[in-house]
Amino acid sequence: MSAPAPSWQSWQSPLSGRYASKEMSSLFSNATRFGTWRTLWLNLAIAEKELGLPIPDAAIEEMKANLELDDEQMKMAAEEEKKRRHDVMAHVHVFGTMCPTAAPFIHLGATSCYVTDNADLIFLKRAFDLVIPKLAVTISRLAAFAEQHRAQPTLGFTHMQPAQLTTVGKRACLWIQELLWDLRNLERARNDLGFRGVKGTTGTQASFLSLFDGDHAKVKALDKRVTQLCGFGYAYPVTGQTYSRKIDVDALNALVSFSTSALKMATDIRLLCHLKEVEEPFEKDQIGSSAMAYKRNPMRSERVCGLARWLGNMANSARETAGSQWMERTLDDSANRRLTLPEAFLTTDVILTTLQNITEGLVVYPAIINRRIAAELPFMATENVIMAMVRAGGDRQVCHEEIRVLSHQAAKVVKEEGGDNDLIERIRKSEYFAPVHAKLDELLDPTTFVGRAPEQVDDFVEEWVRPALQPYAEALKDVKKAELAV
């Protein structure tokens, strides 16, 4: 057998090898997986002993002392799996080799899904515990940005065409609101997770009923005790050989929903970068383009968009897997879930780290924003001018026609001649509009066009954001700035 190729000579997932955090990568590693299997076998033995099975204390202590695997044991398991074509039995064998006293009791009464499915549920729960606080941090950073720019007028866009003014902070609150919904969804998905527990080969608990000589109460107690030892509040009341794969659908749907929020936010930031109104962080030595040295490409937001599309497409895989399970189970779910579940959380983890990095370094350019407002505001102010003229005794219909003619003249200068919007100068020069000449500066004050946007930011942050983040107060303390590996 040839030696394995160096990592740079074989395919490596960019999620684990390039982007994701060490914590998330470690969670879905083989070391964590197989170590968790050993913990599950230990907890099963503890519960069986407590309920009367003759398992020696030495066997329990032996298992406790050998929960971690080293390189040699991993090699042994790999060799055993080649022979047996069964990963669980390979690890039962290696664990038994390390724990000879416990060997007769390891996996007693259990089916493979006792360790594989229960371990997956443990990983899902821990993965949510990693991403939920990260989402809270991103929301916190974005809320601070919204408060800082609560009153900065900016051009609103509908159909990507200039519309009524809003503020930079108010626009950020649109992003935050969706992220708050995601926080709720992730919390709900995490808290809904149950345990497969101790159910046997087809979910009937027949093997355990045999172990306890037909004592139904002890079998129920065993299921409850193992669930408790593994840190879950309840076990699913009925299962087949596996827990329902609909649980995976529910978990991934929360992540997929988050991906839409990330995609929307990052797309908006990319558009704002194009307008040069807002810029994502750009490091001193960062290169935007290999050919065009002046470029400052929004690569962070582009990365978020690319990964969000990838994450969004994972829901269908989980849905089809859940719907195509036959009766009590088939094995066509296994290879699919080995890819889908880890990669969904690894992708979410990367997106959140990148969003945190973006929100910690967003730069706003008021001069560019104000220049764009100045180019469009005269058209938007025409209704204000008409109303002021009416209050000064003018006829609305006549005023409307006068300002319509001037607006078309100004628009021709902008569109056909490439000049600046000179509508206000035309109004100043018009004798008809003399009654409002002194009020034009007041009528064109951008802050009078943003409505309650600043107050909406204040109310939203106080009434919605702060309460949602309160459970994460400790996690938000002394959080280090997010650094991107590449």
* CA torsion, ordered 312, 316, 318, 321, to nearest 10 deg: -160
CB 149, CB 434: distance < 8 Å: no
Catalytic residues: 159, 289
Model pTM score: 0.85
Q: Cα-flanking dihedrals φ and ψ of residue 422, to 5°?
A: -110, 25
Identify the CATH number of the domain in which residue 72 sits: 1.10.275.10
Distance CA 460, CA 5 (A): 54
Residue 178 lies in a domain: yes
Task: Report the distance separating Cα 93 and Cα 116, nearest Å.
Answer: 16
pLDDT digits 0-9 by tens, 180-198? 999 999 999 999 999 999 9
| Ramachandran quadrant class, 393 (left: phi over 0; alpha: psi -120 to 50; beta: rest) | left
Domain assignment of residue 16, yes or no: no
Say which CATH number the domain at 224 has. 1.20.200.10
**3-class secondary structure, 159:** coil
Structural domain ending residue among the three candidates 328, 363, 398: 363
Q: CB burial class (10 A; 0-12, 13-18, 19+) of residue 145? A: buried
Same domain for 302 and 404, yes or no, is no
How do residues 462-475 score in pLDDT, each as one tens digit?
999 999 999 998 88
What element of type H or E holds 307? helix 299-312
Per the domain annotation, does 153 fall within a domain? yes
Indicate the average pLDDT of the chain.
Answer: 87
| 225 & 151 share domain | yes
Q: What angle do CA 48, 51, 55 make, to 5 degrees?
A: 45
pLDDT at 291 over 50: no
Q: Which residues contact 271 (CB under 8 A, 6 or more apart)?
A: 160
Whether the pLDDT of residue 479 is over 70: the answer is yes
Tell me, yes or no, whether 318 and 400 share the same domain.
no
Domain of 402? 382-443
Residues 87-101 have a mean pLDDT of 89
Q: Which of 48-57, 167-176, 212-221, 328-337 has the lowest mean pLDDT?
A: 328-337
Judge if 93 and 160 occupy the same domain.
no
Q: Is 160 in the same domain as 217?
A: yes
